[in-house]
Amino acid sequence: MTKPAYPPEEARGLWVYLEQDQGRLEGVSLELLGKAREMADSRGMAVTGALLGDQVSALVQEAIATGADEVLVAEHPLLRLYTTDGYTKVFSQLILERKPDILLLGATANGRDLAGRVAVRVRTGLTADCTNMALEDGTGLLVGEVTGFGGGVLAYIKCPDHRPQMATVRPGVFAPPQPDASRRGKVVTVPVDLSQEDVKVQVLEHVTGQGLDITKAEVLVAAGRGCRGDFTLVNELASLLGGEMGVSRVPVDQGWASRDRMIGQTGYVTRPKLAIVCGISGAFQFTVGIEKAETIVAINLDDEAPIFEQADYCVVDDMFQVLPPLIEAIKTARGGNGGRQG
Ligand SMILES: Cc1cc2nc3c(=O)[nH]c(=O)nc-3n(C[C@H](O)[C@H](O)[C@H](O)COP(=O)(O)OP(=O)(O)OC[C@H]3O[C@@H](n4cnc5c(N)ncnc54)[C@H](O)[C@@H]3O)c2cc1C
C-alpha cells in the first residue's frame, strides 16, 4: 500500500473543485457545493471551494452564495484554458500544502481528467461517478455509492487511510441548491508556481458546444430503438411542450441522434418535470438518467417492458399510433395554433 502524502489526522475540511469555463462556473460544481454544505453541516465542517483559472475572482461570490465558507483562488495566465499538466501541478501543490480531508469534483470531461491525475500525484484513492455519498456515522469517513456490473450491484466505497478522500459526481446527480446572496465567506488568493515548461500541451482551439443541454430541459420526450430512427413525432411533441428530445443509447450507436441527447449512465442524468419515454425498454443504464423526473409517461408495445416499473403513467401501445392523436389534442386544446407553451 502506498504511503499517504499526509496522515488522516492532519487533514481538514471538505473541498469542492470549482470548475469554470470562460467565466462561468459549471453547474455540477454548484450541485456539489449544495451536497458538500449538507454533509459539512452534519459534522460541523467547513466547505472550501478551489477555483483555478485566469481572472476568475468574479465567480467567488456565486460559490459563497451556493454554500462555500472559503474560496481559494489560484490565478495565472497559463490557467486560462484547462490543460492536464498545468492544472494538475497547481492543484496538487495546493492540496499538499493545505491538506483537505475530502475533495469532490464534477465528472465532466475535464473534471474526470484532473481527478485521476491529481489522485495519483497526491497518492490517494478516487471513487469515480458516485450516484450518492454521505459521511459515515462515527468515523465521518466519506462513503461513495457507485453502481457496478451494469447496475446489478451498488458498492459503497471509502478510503480510510489516505487523504484527501476523493470522489467525482456526474452533472445532474444532485439538485442545484438555491443560492443565498446574503452569505459571506473568506477569499484567499494563493500563489501559483507555474511556467511555460510545466505546460506541455498547447491548446490551439477552444470549441464550445452548440448550447444544447438536456439536463436543463423541464420536458423531455425520449425515444429509443422503437422509433426506428424516425424522430418526426417525438421532435414535434417536444417542441409543442417547450421541451427537448432525448434518446437512449441505441439511436446514438445507430448514428440516428447525437450523443449530447443521450440519457443514462454514459449519457446525461436529467431531472425534468415531465419525461415522455417512447420505444425504450428501460434498461438500468437508461433509467438512472431519468428516474429523478417528477412524472414519467412510458409508451411501449411490450406490457412487460421494465420501463413501466419506473413510469407514473403506462401506455401499452405503438408510439406511432399514440403520438399523432396526442399532438393533435394538444394543438386543439391550444386553439389550433400549436404554439409552444411552458
Ligand atoms: C456500460 C454500459 C453503459 C450504458 N449506458 C447507457 C446509457 O447511458 N443510456 C442508455 O440508454 N443505454 C445505455 N446502455 C445500453 C442499455 O443497456 C440498453 O441496451 C439501452 O438502453 C437499450 O435502448 P432501447 O431501450 O432504446 O432499446 P431496446 O432495449 O431494444 O428497447 C426497445 C423498446 O422499444 C419497444 N418498441 C419497439 N417498437 C415500438 C413501437 N413502435 N412503439 C412503442 N414501443 C416500441 C420495444 O418493446 C422495446 O421495449 C449501456 C450499456 C452498458 C453495458
250 and 111, same domain (yes or no): no
Which pLDDT score, from 0 to 100, does residue 207 have? Answer: 79
The CB-based long-range contact list for 5-10 (8 Å cut-off, 24+ gap) reads: 5/96, 5/122, 5/123, 5/124, 5/162, 5/163, 6/96, 6/99, 6/163, 7/163, 8/101, 8/160, 8/161, 8/162, 8/163, 10/99, 10/163
Per-residue cell: 222: 425520449
In terms of Cα–Cα distance, which of 94, 12, 14, 87 is closest to 49?
14
Which pLDDT score, from 0 to 100, does residue 59 have? Answer: 97
Last residue of one domain, picked from the residues 170, 198, 226:
198
Among 232, 252, 266, the mutation site with the greatest number of ligand 1 atoms within 8 A of its Cβ is: 266
Closest ligand 1 atom to residue 251 Cα is 26
> Is 1 domain-assigned?
no
116 and 19, same domain (yes or no): yes
The residues that bridge with 299 in the sheet, in sequence order, are 278, 315
Are 167 and 133 contacting, i.e. CB atoms less than 8 angstroms apart?
yes
Q: What's the CATH number where 140 sits?
A: 3.40.50.620
298 and 186, same domain (yes or no): no
SS3 of residue 274 by DSSP: strand
**Given a cut of 60, is residue 302 above it in pLDDT?**
yes
The count of structural domains within the chain is 2
Side-chain-side CA neighbours of residue 240 (13 Å): 23
Residues with C-beta less than 6 Å from any ligand 1 atom: 150, 224-226, 248-250, 262-267, 279-281, 283, 285-286, 289, 299-302, 305, 318-320
Q: Which residue has the cell 462515527?
A: 138
Are 121 and 132 contacting, i.e. CB atoms less than 8 angstroms apart?
no
Strand bridging mode 102-106 / 165-169 = parallel
273 and 190, same domain (yes or no): no
236 and 182, same domain (yes or no): no
Q: What's the CATH number where 228 sits?
A: 3.40.50.1220
Cis status, amide bond into 179, omega within 30 of 0: no
Per-residue cell: 26: 459549471
25 and 108, same domain (yes or no): yes
Instruction: In the chain, count H helices and then E strands.
Output: 9, 17
> Is 209 domain-assigned?
no
Which pLDDT score, from 0 to 100, does residue 202 have? Answer: 86
Which pLDDT score, from 0 to 100, does residue 342 have? Answer: 42
33 and 106, same domain (yes or no): yes
**Given a cut of 60, is residue 339 above it in pLDDT?**
no
18 and 150, same domain (yes or no): yes
Closest ligand 1 atom to residue 228 Cα is 38
How far, in Å, from the CA of 261 to the mean position of ligand 1?
14
186 and 317, same domain (yes or no): no
> Is 206 domain-assigned?
no
Last residue of one domain, picked from the residues 137, 171, 198:
198
pLDDT tens digits, one per residue of 186-237: 999 999 999 999 999 888 888 776 678 899 899 999 999 999 999 999 999 9
Which band of pLDDT confidence, cut at 50, 70 and 90, is reported for residue 41?
Answer: very high
Q: Which residue has the higher pLDDT, 1 or 245?
A: 245
How far, in Å, from the CA of 326 to the mean position of ligand 1?
23
> Is 2 domain-assigned?
no
**Which structural domain range is residue 324 located in?**
214-333
Among 230, 232, 249, 308, the mutation site with the greatest number of ligand 1 atoms within 8 A of its Cβ is: 249
> Is 19 domain-assigned?
yes
Which pLDDT score, from 0 to 100, does residue 338 have? Answer: 54
**Given a cut of 80, is residue 118 above it in pLDDT?**
yes
How far, in Å, from the CA of 251 to the mean position of ligand 1?
9
103 and 71, same domain (yes or no): yes
pLDDT tens digits, one per residue of 261-273: 999 988 999 999 9
Mean pLDDT computed over 154-178 = 94
**What CA–CA distance (Å, rounded) separates 68 from 14?**
10
Are 19 and 110 contacting, i.e. CB atoms less than 8 angstroms apart?
yes
**What CA–CA distance (Å, rounded) separates 67 from 257?**
37
15 and 153, same domain (yes or no): yes
How far, in Å, from the CA of 280 to the mean position of ligand 1?
5
> Is 204 domain-assigned?
no
Side-chain-side CA neighbours of residue 144 (13 Å): 25
> Is 207 domain-assigned?
no
How far, in Å, from the CA of 151 to the mean position of ligand 1?
14
Closest ligand 1 atom to residue 282 Cα is 25
192 and 235, same domain (yes or no): no
Which pLDDT score, from 0 to 100, does residue 97 have? Answer: 97
